[in-house]
Amino acid sequence: MRRAVCPGSFDPVTNGHIDIISRASALFDEVTVAVLINKSKKSLFTVDERIGMLTDVCAEFGNVKIDAFHGLLVDFCRERDIHAIVKGLRAVSDFDYELQMAQMNSSLAEVETVFVPTSPEYSFLASSLVKEVATYGGDVSSLVPPLVLDRLTARLAERAE
């Protein structure tokens, strides 16, 4: 079976992530979306909340499952017999760092990184920008799934109280 992982913070999942996940699901037999547990990074949503949103929005893909990991991505891959990492490339500016990570990961384990060019309509999209725009009342309804929009609106309202 050809397995792949789509790793990330997903704080929160955006339409850009879903674009990459859906295309990975067409390329591989099984895709694991892996949420990085990073206690040193301040996040808007807990890992469980992020997993919940991903589970909901990825339900339409029959071969996609959601998991979480901490430590090295290559260790997660080794434990699950995954040999491909799928990454979206939004612009040339993503490439330098992604290439460095891909080369480091392949030096650590038998994993290939597969770069998928982000669809042009999502090339500017990042979770951090979605949060910033939403915080100041901007309309992000075309950038995240409806469920994520609801959770984002609710979380930002809680924070503003």
Instruction: Give catalytic residues, as residue numbers.
Output: 17, 41, 90, 127
Question: Is 52:18 a contact under the CB 8 Å cutoff?
Answer: no
Query: Alpha helices of 44-84 — where are they, by DSSP H?
Result: 47-57, 73-79
Out of 68, 101, 129, 156, the only residue in the binding site for ligand PNS (CB under 6 A) is 101
What tokens does 16 get?
Answer: 């850009």
Shortest distance, position 65 Cβ to ligand PNS, whole Å: 17
**Residue 84, CB half-sphere, CA atoms under 13 Å: how many?**
17
Which residue, 49, 44, 51, 50, is CA-closest to 65?
Answer: 51
What tokens does 33 get?
Answer: 């979306």
Q: If binding means CB under 6 A, how many residues of this protein chain bind ligand PNS?
A: 9
- Stretch of 19-27, 101-109, 130-138, 143-151 contacting ligand PNS, by CB under 6 A: 101-109
User: Does 104 participate in binding ligand PNS (rule CB under 6 A)?
Assistant: yes
User: Does 43 participate in binding ligand PNS (rule CB under 6 A)?
Assistant: no
Place of tokens 């999942």: 13
Instruction: Tell me the per-residue interface mask from 61 to 100 with ligand PNS, x by CB under 6 A, - otherwise.
Output: -----------xx---------------------------
- Contact set with ligand PNS (CB under 6 A): 7-9, 36, 72-73, 101, 104-105
